[in-house]
């Protein structure tokens, strides 16, 4: 048990702890020895021990007995060894830290240069931190790059291996370095609506096909963000206010939804499946497709160019290009997507 806890401590801290214990032990032995052999007071023994360990030379006080001199001969090399070890540990820590940081930065730049079909998260305030937790907990593997101008704030929350780019997300050069032209999605989560508008305009100019979800603080900014090219605009204040109201009017429903969203293991999620031209469901009605029985998912809506059909009629036929909004566990949704689009047997 002790060995496991000791090994869990980072190497640098283990060395520092070991060095501290050695110094305390050496000083304790030195004080006790000089008090015994030289009959000195505690302070004088401490003074004698320090000048012996630091090898700065004796001045007005030095060992006068043979036993004291022999004891000093033991303390001096031990002290010099511990001091040398301490200096070496400090130098090693600084060098290793600088080298590891350079290696990590180089590896990070290399990974960013290869990114394609990834998601960019711009900003790292309270909203973006929640975005990070949600994306991290998703079972679906996706490449996510977080852009923020303060790396310390990022490292307070994200895991060490998380892809990150330190810089101003409103800077076009930073978005180019983040390969926004190859990204599939972008989340503009800065506190400033003006910054989110600028990021949206810049990203859309670099990549017309990118899906952009933008945060808005003011109601008037929602329309501006949509005109700038945001696919979806989320106002946390509006959502929070709506949930507060429903918590009083329909508390059971809100509790159910919150339990689903906050659960550590996502047994029930909402996903989407796009029907291709050769999809076997095309032409079939909602009822005859037997989605619930055959695939274990519940159809919530059909998203088409003309709009969204919520709770579609059982006789409603599926068409090529339909985007099915379904609810179920992640495995069932992935299985449905694979089977209807021919990617799995």
Specify if 243 maps to a domain. Answer: no
pLDDT of residue 170: 93
Give which of 165, 174, 229 is closest to 197, Cα–Cα.
229
Distance CA 113, CA 179 (A): 7
Q: Which of 48, 76, 110 is the last residue of a domain?
A: 110
Specify if 216 maps to a domain. Answer: yes
> Does one domain contain both 229 and 297?
no
List strands edge to edge, sheet with 119-122: 164-166, 144-148, 119-122, 185-188, 211-215, 232-234
> Does one domain contain both 130 and 105?
no
> Does one domain contain both 188 and 82?
no
Specify if 194 maps to a domain. Answer: yes
Q: Which of 110, 133, 165 is the last residue of a domain?
A: 110
First to last CA, the chain: 49
Report in angstroms the alpha-carbon separations of 6 from 15, 48, 88, 96, 239: 11, 34, 22, 21, 47
Which domain covers residue 333, as residue numbers?
Answer: 267-340
Specify if 254 maps to a domain. Answer: no
CATH code for the domain of 39: 1.10.287.70
> Does one domain contain both 127 and 230?
yes
Q: Which residues contact 149 (CB under 8 A, 6 or more apart)?
A: 166, 167, 168, 169
pLDDT of residue 1: 45
> Does one domain contain both 123 and 219?
yes
pLDDT of residue 4: 42
Let me know: does 200 contact 225? Beta carbons within 8 Å: yes
Write out the chain's pLDDT in tens, 345 residues.
444 454 445 566 677 777 788 888 888 888 888 888 888 888 888 888 888 877 666 666 777 788 888 888 888 888 888 878 777 777 776 666 666 556 666 778 888 888 899 999 999 988 889 899 888 877 567 899 999 998 888 888 888 778 888 899 999 999 999 999 999 999 999 989 999 999 999 999 999 999 999 999 888 888 899 999 999 998 887 777 777 787 777 777 767 666 666 655 556 777 888 888 888 888 888 888 888 888 888 888 888 887 888 888 888 888 888 888 888 877 888 888 887 776 554
Specify if 241 maps to a domain. Answer: no
Q: Which residues contact 63 (CB under 8 A, 6 or more apart)?
A: 34, 37, 38, 48, 69, 71, 72
At 343 the three-state DSSP class reads coil
> Does one domain contain both 278 and 167?
no
- Please state the pTM of the whole predicted model: 0.57
Instruction: Specify which residues 213 forms β-bridges with.
Output: 187, 232
Let me know: does 299 contact 324? Beta carbons within 8 Å: yes
pLDDT of residue 188: 94
The two counts, helices (H) then strands (E), for the chain are: 14, 10
Whose tokens are 């070991």? That residue is 18
Q: Which of 213, 234, 255 is the last residue of a domain?
A: 234
**Which string of DSSP letters, residue by residue, matches 143-158?**
-EEEEES-HHHHHTTS
> Does one domain contain both 158 and 191?
yes
> Does one domain contain both 31 and 127?
no
Q: Which residues contact 257 (CB under 8 A, 6 or more apart)?
A: none
At 121 the three-state DSSP class reads strand
Distance CA 120, CA 163 (A): 10
The total domain count for the chain is 3
pLDDT of residue 202: 94
Report in angstroms the alpha-carbon separations of 124 from 97, 130, 189: 25, 9, 7
Specify if 47 maps to a domain. Answer: yes
pLDDT of residue 9: 55
CATH code for the domain of 152: 3.40.50.720
Specify if 53 maps to a domain. Answer: yes
> Does one domain contain both 72 and 121?
no
> Does one domain contain both 70 and 94?
yes
Specify if 302 maps to a domain. Answer: yes
pLDDT of residue 260: 62
> Does one domain contain both 32 and 66?
yes
């Amino acid at each position: 048990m002790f060995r496991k806890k000791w090994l869990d401590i980072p190497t640098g801290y283990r060395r520092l702890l070991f060095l501290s214990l050695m110094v305390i032990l050496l000083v304790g032995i030195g004080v006790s020895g000089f008090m015994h052999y030289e009959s000195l007071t505690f302070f004088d023994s401490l003074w004698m021990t320090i000048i012996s360990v630091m090898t700065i030379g004796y001045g007005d006080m030095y060992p006068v007995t043979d036993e004291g001199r022999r004891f000093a001969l033991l303390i001096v090399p031990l002290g010099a060894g511990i001091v040398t070890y301490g200096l070496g540990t400090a130098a090693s820590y600084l060098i290793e830290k600088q080298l590891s940081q350079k290696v990590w930065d180089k590896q990070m730049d290399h990974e960013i240069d290869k990114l394609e079909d990834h998601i960019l998260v711009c900003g790292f305030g309270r909203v973006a931190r929640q975005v990070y937790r949600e994306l991290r907990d998703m079972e679906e593997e996706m490449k996510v790059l977080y852009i923020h101008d303060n790396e310390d704030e990022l490292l307070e929350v994200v895991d060490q291996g998380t892809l990150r780019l330190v810089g101003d997300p409103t800077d076009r050069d930073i978005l180019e370095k983040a390969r926004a032209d190859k990204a599939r999605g972008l989340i503009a989560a800065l506190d400033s609506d003006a910054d989110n508008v600028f990021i949206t305009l810049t990203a859309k100019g670099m990549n017309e096909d990118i899906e952009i979800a933008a945060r808005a603080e003011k109601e008037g900014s929602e329309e501006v963000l949509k005109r700038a090219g945001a696919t979806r605009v989320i106002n946390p204040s509006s959502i929070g206010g709506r949930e507060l109201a429903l918590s009083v009017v329909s508390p059971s429903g809100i509790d159910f939804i919150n339990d689903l969203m906050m659960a550590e293991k996502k047994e029930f999620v909402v996903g989407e499946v796009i029907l291709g031209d050769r999809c076997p469901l095309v032409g079939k009605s909602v009822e005859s497709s037997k989605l619930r029985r055959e695939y274990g998912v519940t159809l919530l809506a059909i998203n088409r160019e003309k709009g969204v059909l919520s709770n579609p009629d059982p006789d409603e036929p599926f068409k090529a290009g339909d985007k099915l909004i379904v609810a179920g566990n992640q495995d069932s949704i992935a299985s449905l997507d694979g089977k209807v689009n021919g990617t799995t047997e």
